[in-house]
């Protein structure tokens, strides 16, 4: 009787490649701890590094694709569209698509840390933070002719970004928490928001109208010295307004690479 040969089969462990989007998601899940928290500097650098290296293809886009014309499930035509990749209580991943001339109007991010990465296109960015002023600071006073409820803000950015470029980050009270995007060419923007907007939790989005500093400064009105107009490049007046018409966005389905949320967020 022939003995059967015992063949030992070696189990080969195949390590699955982790996509850039999955790496971003996994890092967000570890870094964002929920409302009222801000990631420490080393975690900010970590997320920024991941985003800096992300490409359009990592989220299923191509620079040649007419993504801004996609209207899946949209009955009306919106100048700006968005898609949500993932959302939980601690953070959200989303993308915005702007056609040439498309605008995401001046708005804030209350209690939020937000990372933005321009994946495709060319856009102008204008951002502000509220100015820290005291009662004795003359620059903080608006002229009597100014609209009511104006508030002084510091200009943090007024520049044009061209993809590919580094990511940017804003904080609850710094880094340009109030910003506006204007597309000069078709744009795709990847945003990481921690935590996401929530009206129920006091993180509703507010919109603003901007005025030049020299237009309503009591100091400039009382003493219109041309040399003092330089200060207008550093400051502006912001007035909270009702939700503008051009803030409405169309929602489209996310069709890019999937992510695994095991174990998931709360």
Query: Which residues fall within 8 angstroms of residue 164, CB to CB, at 6 or more apart?
Result: 55, 118, 119
Domain ranges of the chain: 20-127+155-198+245-251
Output DSSP code: residue 5: P
**Residue at token pair 């007419």:** 66
Sort 20 into a burial class: Cβ within 10 Å, 0-12 / 13-18 / 19+: middle
Name the CATH topology of 20-127+155-198+245-251.
Jelly Rolls (2.60.120)
DSSP 178-247: EEEEEESS-EEEEEEEESPPBTTTTB---EEEEEEHHHHBHHHHHS--GGGGGGGGTEEEEEEESPPGGG
Nearest-5° angle of CA 228, CA 229, CA 234? 105
CA distance 112 to 85: 18
Could you state, in chain order, the average pLDDT of each consecutive group of 10 residues for the chain (266 residues)? 51 64 98 97 99 98 63 60 98 98 98 98 98 58 74 97 98 98 98 97 97 80 46 84 94 96 64
pLDDT value of residue 79:
86
The rounded distance, in Å, linking the Cα atoms of 38 and 21 is 22
Lookup result for tokens 């609850």: 172
The structure's pTM equals: 0.83
- At residue 231, the pLDDT reads 54
pLDDT, one tens digit per residue, over 137-158 is 545 567 666 778 899 999 999 9
Q: Are 139 and 217 contacting, i.e. CB atoms less than 8 angstroms apart? A: yes
188-221, pLDDT tens digit by residue?
Answer: 999 999 999 999 999 999 999 999 998 887 665 5
């Amino acid at each position: 009787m022939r003995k059967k040969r015992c063949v030992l089969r070696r189990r080969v462990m195949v390590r699955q490649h982790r996509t850039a989007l999955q790496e971003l998601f996994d890092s967000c899940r570890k870094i964002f701890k929920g409302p009222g928290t801000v990631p420490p500097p080393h975690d900010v650098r970590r997320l920024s590094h991941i985003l800096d290296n992300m490409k359009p293809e990592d989220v299923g886009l191509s620079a040649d694709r007419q993504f801004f014309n996609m209207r899946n499930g949209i009955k009306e035509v919106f100048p700006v569209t968005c898609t949500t990749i993932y959302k939980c209580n601690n953070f959200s991943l989303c993308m915005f698509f702007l056609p040439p001339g498309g605008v995401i109007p001046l708005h804030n991010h209350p209690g939020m840390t937000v990372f933005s990465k321009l994946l495709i296109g060319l856009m102008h960015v204008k951002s502000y933070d509220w100015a820290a002023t005291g009662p004795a600071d003359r620059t903080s006073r608006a002229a009597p002719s100014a609209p009511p409820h104006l508030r002084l803000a510091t200009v943090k950015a007024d520049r044009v970004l061209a993809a590919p470029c580094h990511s940017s980050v804003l904080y609850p009270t710094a880094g340009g928490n109030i910003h506006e995007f204007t597309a000069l060419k078709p744009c795709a923007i990847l945003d990481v928001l921690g935590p996401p907007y929530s009206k129920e939790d006091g993180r509703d989005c507010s919109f603003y109208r901007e005025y030049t500093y020299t237009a309503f400064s009591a100091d400039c009105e009382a003493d219109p010295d041309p040399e003092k107009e330089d200060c207008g490049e550093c400051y502006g007046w912001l007035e909270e307004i009702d939700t503008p018409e051009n803030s409405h966005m169309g929602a489209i389905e996310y069709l890019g690479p999937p992510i695994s949320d095991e174990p998931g967020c709360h």
